[in-house]
């Protein structure tokens, strides 16, 4: 058995690495995609196109506008002349947010009254609209607090020390600067690993069938389990190498802290790769051509990413969809990646994720072996 398995491994590695283009595809695209997705995948909104309609044109209103413009989150493009111009700019997609300050804004502030400002947002992209509104609310609240203190300083400076105030102190854990990239980069590592390993493995048996070498293997004494191992081990080692490369890029290039144990991360990676190999081999055994394998792999990859919690919280999904996410190995692996990278947790807290990937991996590999028949359909 060992000798037959050895010959299969040699054959598979020769077939994979004999082509320069194939060697580049194994490691080049994951690194390039890691760089691109690491910068592109973020919740941070910057340079929101903004217009201002200021009917008050007072020192107070100009101060508020200047504070908004001074941040990197808003780009003040122009000043509108009337409400219709705002509507036209939003309809054409030339601006995302408009700020309307009515006459009497400064007068209300000087009297200690609430001064209202109208904000008009293009909510076509609800995520951008909500985040931009959150930024603007923080700027307005800070402006109101500063103006109130300055106003009291002028009127009754002796009462400032007695005036009650509430200060909200934020203490973010694990990501003190609230960088969304720290959340997304570990997710990109898991997603790219899944895509690479499934695509490599999904074509394994199909390629043998299409080029005619499967008939030659059929007449040899190789057993199904040996054939599966011969197809699995090379891609398992390639998957480990890809994970090491893209994880190193995420750690050193994007400065994502690795607070946990590398051995815990390695254990989770091994179990995840077994799951991906099982899925890829299962796709390969049920597909007659490489085109069918490609379509089937795409049919699995997209739902797996959506249901993994990569970009959308699982808790916001309907209850029946939340139950479906337990069938996605990527869900467990992302928890392991983010837990080890950001929180530094160990096996004592991550054992449910390890158990889930182990159960799915054993099940998928078992089904793949049972489906393989040493005969052509």
Chain mean position to CA 37? 8
Residue 69 CB partners (closer than 8 Å, separation 6+): 50, 75, 76
Answer whether residue 377 shows pLDDT above 50.
no
Task: Note the pLDDT tens digit of each residue in 300-359.
Answer: 888 888 888 887 788 888 888 889 889 999 999 999 999 999 998 989 899 999 999 999
Report yes or no: 325 and 309 within 8 Å, Cβ to Cβ: yes
Residue with tokens 């499967």: 214
CATH class of 48-162: alpha beta
Task: Note the pLDDT tens digit of each residue in 146-177.
Answer: 887 777 776 666 666 666 667 777 788 888 87
- Our separate counts of H helices and E strands in the chain read 15, 4
Partners of 76 in the β-ladder: 50
Least confident of 43-52, 111-120, 147-156, 160-169: 160-169
Helix (H) or strand (E) holding 100: strand 97-101
Residue 61 CB partners (closer than 8 Å, separation 6+): 54, 101, 105, 106
Report yes or no: 337 and 265 within 8 Å, Cβ to Cβ: yes
3-state SS assignment for residue 377 = coil
Strand order in the sheet with 97-101: 74-79, 48-54, 97-101, 118-121
Q: Please state, in angstroms and as integers, the Cα–Cα distance from residue 322 to each residue in 60, 194, 298, 318, 325, following that order.
A: 49, 20, 21, 6, 5
Q: What is the mean pLDDT of residues 21-42?
A: 80
Q: What is the mean pLDDT of residues 130-158?
A: 81
Helix (H) or strand (E) holding 53: strand 48-54
Give the separation between CA 31 and CA 315, rounded to whole angstroms.
31
pLDDT > 70 fraction of the chain, expressed in percent and rounded: 88
Task: Note the pLDDT tens digit of each residue in 259-278.
Answer: 989 899 999 999 999 999 88
Give the separation between CA 81 and CA 79, rounded to whole angstroms.
7
Phi, psi of 79 (to 5 degrees): -110, 125
**Binning pLDDT at 50, 70 and 90, where does residue 3 land?**
low
Chain mean position to CA 96? 24
Give the separation between CA 202 and CA 76, rounded to whole angstroms.
51
Q: Please state, in angstroms and as integers, the Cα–Cα distance from residue 246 to each residue in 240, 251, 267, 275, 346, following that order.
A: 10, 9, 17, 19, 22
Report yes or no: 202 and 59 within 8 Å, Cβ to Cβ: no
Q: Which has the closest alpha carbon to 38: 191, 152, 140?
A: 191
- Structure letter (DSSP) for residue 11: H
- Counting every residue, how long is the chain? 377
Six token digits for residue 315? 């808790």
The stretches of 41-168 forming alpha helices (DSSP H) are 59-70, 83-92, 105-110, 126-155
In the chain, where does the domain assigned CATH 3.40.1710.10 lie? 48-162
- Structure letter (DSSP) for residue 120: E
pLDDT value at residue 217: 66
């Amino acid at each position: 058995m060992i000798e037959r398995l050895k010959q299969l491994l040699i054959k598979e590695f020769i077939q994979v690495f004999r082509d320069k283009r194939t060697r580049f595809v194994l490691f080049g695209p994951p690194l390039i995609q890691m760089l691109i997705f690491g910068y592109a995948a973020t919740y941070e909104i910057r340079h929101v196109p903004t217009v201002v309609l200021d009917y008050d044109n007072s020192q107070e209103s100009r101060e508020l506008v200047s504070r908004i413009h001074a941040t990197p989150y808003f780009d003040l493009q122009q000043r509108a002349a009337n409400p219709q111009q705002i509507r036209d700019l939003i309809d054409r997609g030339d601006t995302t947010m408009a700020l309307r300050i009515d006459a009497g804004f400064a007068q209300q502030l000087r009297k200690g009254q609430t001064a209202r400002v109208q904000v008009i947002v293009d909510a076509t992209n609800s995520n951008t609209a909500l985040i931009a509104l959150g930024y603007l609310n923080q700027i307005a609240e800070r402006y109101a607090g500063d103006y109130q203190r300055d106003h009291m300083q002028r009127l009754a400076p002796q009462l400032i020390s007695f005036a009650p105030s509430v200060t909200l102190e934020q203490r973010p854990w694990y990501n003190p600067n609230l960088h969304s990239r720290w959340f997304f980069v570990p997710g990109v590592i898991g997603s790219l690993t899944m895509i690479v390993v499934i695509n490599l493995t999904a074509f394994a048996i199909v390629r043998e069938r299409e080029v005619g070498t499967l008939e030659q293997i059929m007449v040899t004494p190789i057993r199904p389990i040996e054939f599966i191992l011969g197809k699995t081990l090379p891609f398992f080692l390639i998957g480990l190498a890809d994970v090491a490369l893209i994880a190193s890029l995420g750690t050193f290039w994007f400065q994502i802290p690795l607070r946990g144990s590398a051995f815990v991360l390695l254990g989770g990676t091994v179990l995840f790769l077994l799951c991906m190999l099982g899925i890829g081999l299962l796709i390969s055994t049920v597909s007659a051509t490489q085109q069918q394998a490609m379509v089937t792999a795409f049919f699995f990859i997209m739902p797996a990413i959506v249901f993994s919690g990569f970009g959308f919280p699982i808790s916001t999904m309907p209850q029946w969809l939340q139950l479906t996410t337990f069938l996605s190995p990527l869900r467990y692996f992302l928890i392991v990646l983010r837990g080890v990278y950001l929180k530094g947790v160990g096996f004592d807290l991550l054992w449910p994720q390890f158990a889930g990937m182990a159960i799915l991996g054993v099940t998928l590999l078992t089904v793949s072996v049972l489906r393989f028949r040493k005969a052509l359909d």
